[in-house]
Amino acid sequence: MTGITRQDVEHLARLARLQLSEDEIVHYAGQLDVILQSVARVSEVAGADVPPTSHPVPLVNVFREDVARPGLDRDVVAAGAPAWEDDRFRVPRILDEE
């Protein structure tokens, strides 16, 4: 496998509209070469008999069935509320009127 060359990094920098110094070109060439070697190593491990997957384990829906049930009795809720008005909880105003 050929490594990333200085010209490759310069080309990528031009495409990305980056202005790199000489030290940065050398530095990024080394880093990109390591990345490409790692990808090549992963490609060697993945065999033709291994199907591509998006998750390592199968996903299963764990939600329960949505069933309508009766709610709390309105009178019981009103009796436990600190303030109740027009069938609603009465709470202190937190925003000024504009």
Please give the Cα distance from 92 to 85 (Å, whole number).
12
Tens of pLDDT, residue by residue over 40-76, are 888 777 677 777 777 878 888 888 888 999 999 988 9
The pTM (predicted TM-score) of the whole model is 0.45
- Beta-carbon count within 10 A of 39 CB: 10
Q: Which residues contact 49 (CB under 8 A, 6 or more apart)?
A: none
Is CATH 1.10.20.60 what the domain over 6-45 is classified as, yes or no? yes
- pLDDT of 1 strictly over 60: no
Domain extents for the chain? 6-45
Please give the Cα distance from 34 to 31 (Å, whole number).
5
Burial level of 69, CB count in 10 A (0-12/13-18/19+)? exposed
- Residue 54 parent element (H or E): none
Tens of pLDDT, residue by residue over 7-38, are 999 999 999 999 999 999 999 999 999 999 99
